[in-house]
């Protein structure tokens, strides 16, 4: 079993060494993920007996799956949050990210971006590089799209979320993008995930359309293990036999992700819906079931969109969407209860690991 | 294509005959589902031209799938509702049905039933006949369970919902049960559906775990076609690759059912959740996405339940559940907006088909 | 864990009582499935120690799942076989069952039946009662279809396989049908399965389209537990996301069924294929992977078929199919190797349970 | 609709221009994939009328999906084949690729490689870079593994198949590898596919575990569209609800791929099987259903394997596997019939497009 040891923030290097030495005696595959988080393979009771009595040890726990950094226990059951511009994706809020499927032109993007800002949404999404099943479909404006996103950010003050397809595009993307999205098709592109782990830019990791919840968390672990602590998970629909819509939105993944991991979880209702009329009901369900936000496709003129127009919400319906999800999130007890939880957390975590969950190094085998 | 012709309520038998004669000339498979609903196979424009000008014809429409009676167009886009004791499953309300998976004893059932009534839920569920994958698992108390359900109904005033497995049990069930549930395993047991179509008892039809939305509506059509107009659909989770919970709750089925059909739709969060802790988030999602209600498993002592205890909500948490779903349903605009819609509907439908959608007879081929 | 105890055929009633008494001391849920097969819930080592030394005890084994009668261990790892007219479905042969989806007319059925016999196939299939997703689709000729099947049997000497939908049809079916088929939609219609367990007629049990391998074996257990030992399993395609054909033929289910159970397994390539051109490749795969036979839809004039014509093999291509599958079965080592295995089995099983695996009665709890 | 125009091999540049001009008048999105293959969006009848009479035009056809280069019609219905060392993957043969999941050591690899050669298999597989769900699992020996593969190739004369995970590894891989494998997780990693399209090295493209048949063909189209004509498809099991094995081998994908595309298709029975005992039945099914070969994991000591040992066939069972699949392939009419078809093809294709299906350029929009 994988066992984690969480140290107190006040632990010194020599106190850490002491724990590492003990861990090495009672287990194997001892890894140091950060100054305050270790994991090893071993027997929980044995590890607990060996180290739990030390003053520098805060918490010892067995973790299911192979994602010690992403596990709920790595933060003693307290959810983490990720900054995105002025917003925080996590407890005490409900983040709305909206924008076009792909950046098509300056006019299109700026018009949508202003609508997104005006309705009170928190961030702008827009694809400059588009993964398309067919090599002959529109693949995005590329670097020109990035420039337009940067302009939209300047014009509206909104942070920008955009998808990365190729490690070789990262240098061009970083100046224009506040959160890098990994699409469903690349969720297990480990070369890309490793590279994102080396950055200090928030990552929005979409679940693959046949990825299990645990596989998604292991994909997140690739990024966390690299030292980048800022990962937001995104449920966007899985593939099933039903053809009445585009993908089956797996709403129950939200509570299960939250049982198993501290990472924030948002929902993409657009790709699952497949059609505009179903976006609102799915977004409301997201707000009710405990998700930390949504990412929605919107367009001023959906019928003219170069990509996924059928599922894009017209911008004039954005206010209804934003008001709706916030009202439901409030009714579901999220905004107030979570704010309280957030405050309690501050108290609880004073002295707990606040730094990044950094690159694991196998200390000994 | 299947085309339906909706007649005005005031249409006389001879006016109906006139329409039947015309329908017979422009199409085939002409069926008379009720005095006010006909269907035929034909070309929509041709049928429209032939009959739409007649004063007794209210509405002509092409319908997708093979479920003219269940189609949204059969009621001109207006949702139907089904009586369940004092409650109405449909627009303007959010119905909560709760109770144990199976009736286990007099004490167990009465204790749960009182808790269900006291928290403001609308109906009591409880299985007397239990379909179990293994022939050696507890299969319910059978007829003794029915007697206990009848007693619980008397004691609490709550209407009772219980599953029917065998047409030969119907005579025994009818005196004790207010709504007959068809379980997921029997959704395509057509011998059973035909028999339910002959009754005038509301039916709760659960979607099969690999049934498409259209197949579910065709199963409902078996019942409607028999002349029983009171069918409530239930989404209870479909089977997918994910093993992190029991079944994948297909929340998007709710808006799609509502696009295609006038029938009420409720959600069973318990079977999908598989574990108690996830029941509330899924129930709130149901309330947010436009469902007409939920059916929830509850038990005074889940750990001691003979069946599905792991997913049963303890009765002491019922008030939180009921309050939560009603608050969210209200925030999602359901209770008020729908009540208004309900009132408008009364006006619109004055003079529209109110009677049962009765047994289709092929008039001519 | 479920543990089974297999007694020698020569065991007397008092020897059986002795074992039952011991079983009762070391376990719970002791069941007597036949004079030679007991099961109980208990610890394998403990049970083994308690009874394995007795001369009347042949075999003690733990069995996975909840299907002791269907488990491979119930026959000490030796496959069972089921008689169907002159043919044997099981080791040492490869059985071809062919015929129309539904009985449509006397001429149609007799023409197909003669083609089936002439190509060397072993049995005739044909539906008199057809389960159809839509209540308005052709539902079979009913009892008139049964009379035609009986006539086709007389005319050709072929045994007849036909689907039962309703327990109330059984009396009419038994005189006309040699093997009762349970369709995929009714695989978990336990009222029907129980009734079939009371008969002494072979049953062809089709896997439900979202049923797991273990659920299928538990459905078979309902029949075996009733005392009917003659069950043939049928893999006919499961439901997945792929829409390039009708159902996904789960070829790997064949070896897994055979690991877990002694029951024969055949494959229906027609429903999975969805189109005629794919029937032959799937049938050859069935013959190669260790299945005991196939059941194929065929029609003299597929384009005119009232049901599933698109997937029906024209009768004139039957000889190619039958020759092909037999050649491949031979190349896969099935026919010879299995015949040898069959002979060895005779030796091994002399003195082993040969009688029916009969109705389980809970002896004690 | 996408329409393709296949020119005769003898067509001159000016004759090609003539066709391009005409295509431009009757359609849009005119693309030139190779000197002999054009595609456009347009009406089939109109295009046919415009160009079919020209002597340089060999064939005009509408193609389903968005994969004109991969479509069966691009080669007038004749299957293509791909060279792999001395073997040809395609009609007239059945190619067996075998080797360890991952290269673990010099001894391990050489021992397996010799066993693979000695049993008559055609190529050696072995992973130097391993995609693993967990960042902490063994990820392959990397470049050292490549050196060992090159050594094993020298020692045995077998061509080598190995997986590429990262475009930045290609330079190191090309000297050591004869066929580059794209794994299921990267099937829609378009940055990687584009890069492979620029090479002239055969590619083994594994179907993603939730990819449809058409999506797989569009992924292949990315490579073909880049100008690399040598793509072999690989069915390796899809993800479904069944947990009785690792993945559901979609055997019916083979005939459907062959209806829609000219590309060779092989099957990976190991990943689907999940356990050694099921590899042989699945491999035999592959040989029977028309696949062009198999790729199998094998290991001298499966229990000690660092990766996927549970599904690795012990090398001492390789001869049984190779003999078995060749015998079944022969019985299924593949080896002889296909050789004949191969010869006929030579005649038919004399004067038909033999060169690479090269990079599409949008000529005009």
Q: Of D181, D177, D296, which is closest to residue D232 (Cα–Cα)?
A: D181
Q: Which residue of C has its CA nearest to A240?
A: C241
- Asked, for residue D6, whether it belongs to a domain, the answer is yes
* D51 and D98 within one domain: no
How many separate helices (H) and strands (E) can be counted in chain C? 12, 16
* C338 and C192 within one domain: yes
- Asked, for residue B69, whether it belongs to a domain, the answer is no
How many other C-beta atoms are found inside a 10 Å radius of the C-beta of residue D186?
Answer: 28
Average pLDDT rounded to a whole number, residues B119-129? 97
Rounded to the nearest angstrom, the minimum Cα separation between C151 and chain B is 26
Name residue B3's beta-bridge partners: B40, B62
Task: Tally the residues of chain B.
Answer: 365
State the Cα–Cα distance between residues C346 and C343, nearest whole angstrom: 5
* C53 and C10 within one domain: yes
Domain that holds residue C10: 2-63
Q: How far from D330 is each of C80, C267, C283, C320, D257, CA to CA, in Å?
A: 30, 22, 16, 15, 21
Name residue A313's beta-bridge partners: A298
Q: For residue B333, give the CATH number of its domain.
A: 3.20.20.70
Please report the beta strands in D207-292, taking only residues with DSSP state E, as ranges in sequence order: 231-235, 265-267
Of D132, D133, D225, the CB nearest to A135: D225
Q: Of C173, C177, C257, which is closest to residue C215 (Cα–Cα)?
A: C257
CA angle C213, C218, C219 (to 5 degrees): 95
Question: Residues 6 or more apart from D258 whose CB is under 8 A from it?
Answer: D72, D79, D265, D290
- Interchain contact, D240 vs B241, CB within 8 Å: yes
Task: Tally the residues of chain A.
Answer: 365
Angle between helices A279-288 and B279-289 (to 10 degrees): 150
- Asked, for residue C11, whether it belongs to a domain, the answer is yes
Q: Which of B63, B90, B116 is at the close of a domain?
A: B63
- Asked, for residue D282, whether it belongs to a domain, the answer is yes
pLDDT band at A362 (very low <50, low <70, confident <90, very high): low
Cβ–Cβ < 8 Å for B195, B169? no
Cβ–Cβ < 8 Å for C138, C156? no
Is the CB of residue A244 less than 8 Å away from at least one CB of chain C?
A: no
Cβ–Cβ < 8 Å for A161, A295? yes
Angle between helices A318-331 and A334-349 (to 10 degrees): 60
How would you classify the pairing of strands C160-163 and B231-235?
A: unpaired
Q: What is the pLDDT of residue A327?
A: 96
Residue B125 per-residue DSSP state: E
C47-105 pLDDT, tens digit each: 999 999 999 999 999 998 899 999 999 999 999 999 999 999 999 899 999 999 999 99
Mean pLDDT, chain C, rounded, equals: 91
State the Cα–Cα distance between residues D236 and D2, nearest whole angstrom: 29
Whether A281 has a pLDDT exceeding 70, the answer reads: yes
Q: How far from A157 is each of A114, B24, D15, CA to CA, in Å?
A: 10, 65, 57
Q: Of B59, B51, B52, which is closest to residue B24 (Cα–Cα)?
A: B51
Q: What is the pLDDT of residue B362?
A: 52
State the greatest distance between any 2 C-alpha atoms of chain C, in Å, as a whole number.
65
* A234 and A152 within one domain: yes
- Asked, for residue B351, whether it belongs to a domain, the answer is no
Q: How far from A289 is each of A297, B279, B289, D145, CA to CA, in Å?
A: 20, 10, 11, 47
Per the structure, the count of domains in chain A is 2
* D135 and D14 within one domain: no
- Interchain contact, C240 vs A243, CB within 8 Å: no
Cβ neighbourhood burial of C346 (10 Å; 0-12, 13-18, 19+): exposed
Average pLDDT rounded to a whole number, residues C329-357? 56
**Proportion of chain C in helix, strand, coil states, percent, rounded to 5:** 40, 20, 35
Q: Of A3, A82, A32, A59, which is closest to residue A225 (Cα–Cα)?
A: A32
* D133 and D10 within one domain: no
Rounded to the nearest angstrom, the minimum Cα separation between B216 and chain C is 9
Cβ–Cβ < 8 Å for D296, D96? yes
State ipTM. Answer: 0.93
Q: Of A314, A319, A292, which is closest to residue A301 (Cα–Cα)?
A: A314
- Asked, for residue A363, whether it belongs to a domain, the answer is no
* D155 and D37 within one domain: no
Please report the beta strands in A196-353, taking only residues with DSSP state E, as ranges in sequence order: 203-206, 231-235, 265-267, 293-299, 313-314
Transcribe C297-332 into DSSP letters: EEESSGGG-SS-GGGPEEGGGHHHHHHHHHHHHHHT
Q: Of C37, C48, C51, which is closest to residue C8 (Cα–Cα)?
A: C37
- Interchain contact, D281 vs C255, CB within 8 Å: yes
B276-311 pLDDT, tens digit each: 999 999 999 999 999 999 999 999 999 988 888 899
* B140 and B112 within one domain: yes
Q: What are phi and psi of C50, to 5 degrees?
A: -75, -35
How would you classify the pairing of strands B361-364 and B27-34?
A: antiparallel
Q: What is the pLDDT of residue C205?
A: 98
Partners for D (CB, 8 Å, 3+ pairs)?
A, B, C
In chain A, which residues have their Cβ closer than 8 Å to the Cβ of C247? none
Cβ–Cβ < 8 Å for C205, C213? no
The sign of the dihedral angle between the CA atoms of D202, D208, D209, D212 is negative
Q: Of A85, A101, A103, which is closest to residue A93 (Cα–Cα)?
A: A85
Cβ–Cβ < 8 Å for D190, D225? no
Q: Of B116, B107, B143, which is closest to residue B128 (Cα–Cα)?
A: B143
User: Would residue A274 be called left, alpha or beta, if left means φ above 0 and alpha means ψ between -120 and 50 degrees?
Assistant: left
How many other C-beta atoms are found inside a 10 Å radius of the C-beta of residue D141?
Answer: 22
Q: Of B113, B123, B52, B82, which is closest to residue B294 (Cα–Cα)?
A: B123
Cβ–Cβ < 8 Å for A95, A84? yes
State the Cα–Cα distance between residues B183 and B177, nearest whole angstrom: 15
State the Cα–Cα distance between residues A121 and A117, nearest whole angstrom: 6
Residue D246 per-residue DSSP state: S
* B211 and B275 within one domain: yes
* B59 and B93 within one domain: no
Of A278, A288, A333, the CB nearest to B287: A288
- Asked, for residue A362, whether it belongs to a domain, the answer is no
Rounded to the nearest angstrom, the minimum Cα separation between B209 and chain D is 11
* A11 and A142 within one domain: no
Question: Residues 6 or more apart from A200 whose CB is under 8 A from it?
Answer: A228, A230, A356
Is the CB of residue C77 less than 8 Å away from at least one CB of chain B?
A: no
With residue C6 as reference, give the H or E element that holds it. strand C2-7
* C49 and C143 within one domain: no
Q: For residue A52, give the CATH number of its domain.
A: 3.30.70
Rounded to the nearest angstrom, the minimum Cα separation between B183 and chain C is 10
Q: Of D283, D285, D288, which is closest to residue D298 (Cα–Cα)?
A: D283
Cβ–Cβ < 8 Å for C332, D285? no
C163-208 pLDDT, tens digit each: 999 999 999 999 999 999 999 999 999 999 999 999 999 999 999 9
HSE-up (13 A, CA, CB side) for residue C243: 8
A312-334 pLDDT, tens digit each: 999 999 999 999 999 999 999 88
Question: Residues 6 or more apart from B323 whose CB is under 8 A from it?
Answer: none
Question: Residues 6 or more apart from A259 whose CB is under 8 A from it?
Answer: A72, B277
Residue from C33, C133, C209 to probe the interface with B (highest B Cβ count within 10 Å): C133
Cβ–Cβ < 8 Å for C132, C140? no
- Asked, for residue D362, whether it belongs to a domain, the answer is no
- Interchain contact, A66 vs D136, CB within 8 Å: yes
Cβ–Cβ < 8 Å for B99, B252? no
Q: Which residue of C has its CA nearest to A210?
A: C241
Dihedral of the alpha carbons of D38, D42, D46, D48, in degrees to the nearest 10: 30
In chain B, which residues have their Cβ closer than 8 Å to the Cβ of D240? 241
Q: What is the pLDDT of residue C336?
A: 54
Tens digit of each residue's pLDDT, chain D (365 residues) = 899 999 999 999 999 999 999 999 999 999 999 889 999 999 999 999 999 999 999 999 999 889 999 999 999 999 999 999 999 999 989 999 999 999 999 999 999 999 999 999 999 999 999 999 999 999 999 999 999 999 999 999 999 999 999 999 999 999 999 999 999 999 999 999 999 999 999 999 999 999 999 999 999 999 999 999 999 999 999 999 999 999 999 999 999 999 999 999 999 999 999 999 999 999 999 999 999 999 999 999 999 888 888 999 999 999 999 999 999 999 998 865 444 454 444 444 444 444 444 444 555 43
Is the CB of residue D133 less than 8 Å away from at least one CB of chain C?
A: no
CA angle D59, D63, D68 (to 5 degrees): 85
pLDDT band at B348 (very low <50, low <70, confident <90, very high): very low
Rounded to the nearest angstrom, the minimum Cα separation between D177 and chain C is 32
CA angle B46, B51, B55 (to 5 degrees): 155
């Amino acid at each position: 079993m994988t066992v984690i040891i969480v140290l107190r923030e006040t632990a010194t290097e020599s106190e850490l060494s002491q724990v590492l030495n003990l861990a090495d005696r009672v287990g194997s595959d001892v890894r140091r993920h950060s100054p305050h988080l270790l994991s090893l393979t071993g027997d929980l009771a044995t590890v607990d007996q060996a180290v739990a009595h030390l003053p520098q040890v805060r918490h010892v726990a067995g973790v299911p799956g192979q994602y010690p950094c992403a596990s709920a226990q790595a933060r003693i059951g307290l959810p983490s949050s990720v900054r995105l511009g002025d917003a925080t994706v996590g407890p005490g809020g409900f983040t709305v990210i909206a924008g076009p499927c792909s950046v098509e032109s300056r006019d299109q993007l700026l018009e949508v971006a202003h609508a997104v800002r005006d309705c009170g949404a928190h961030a702008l999404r827009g694809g400059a590089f588009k993964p398309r099943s067919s090599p002959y479909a529109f693949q995005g404006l590329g670097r020109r799209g990035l420039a337009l996103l940067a302009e939209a950010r300047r014009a509206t003050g909104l942070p920008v979320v955009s998808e990365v397809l190729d490690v070789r595009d990262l240098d061009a993307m970083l100046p224009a993008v506040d959160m890098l999205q990994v699409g469903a098709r690349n969720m297990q592109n480990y070369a890309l995930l490793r590279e994102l782990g080396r950055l200090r830019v928030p990552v929005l990791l979409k679940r693959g359309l046949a990825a299990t919840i645990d596989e998604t968390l292991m994909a997140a672990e690739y990024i966390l293990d690299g030292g980048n602590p800022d990962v937001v998970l995104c449920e966007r629909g899985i593939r099933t036999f039903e053809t009445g819509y585009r993908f089956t939105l797996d709403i129950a993944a939200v509570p299960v992700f939250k049982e198993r991991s501290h990472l924030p979880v948002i929902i993409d209702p657009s790709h699952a819906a497949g059609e505009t009329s179903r976006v609102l009901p799915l977004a409301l369900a997201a707000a009710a079931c405990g998700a930390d936000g949504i990412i929605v496709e919107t367009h001023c003129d959906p019928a003219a969109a170069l990509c996924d127009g059928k599922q894009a919400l017209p911008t004039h319906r954005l206010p209804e969407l934003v008001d709706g999800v916030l009202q439901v999130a409030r009714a579901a007890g999220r905004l107030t209860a979570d704010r309280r939880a957030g405050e309690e957390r501050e108290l609880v975590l004073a002295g707990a690991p606040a730094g990044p969950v950094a690159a694991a190094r196998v200390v000994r085998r």
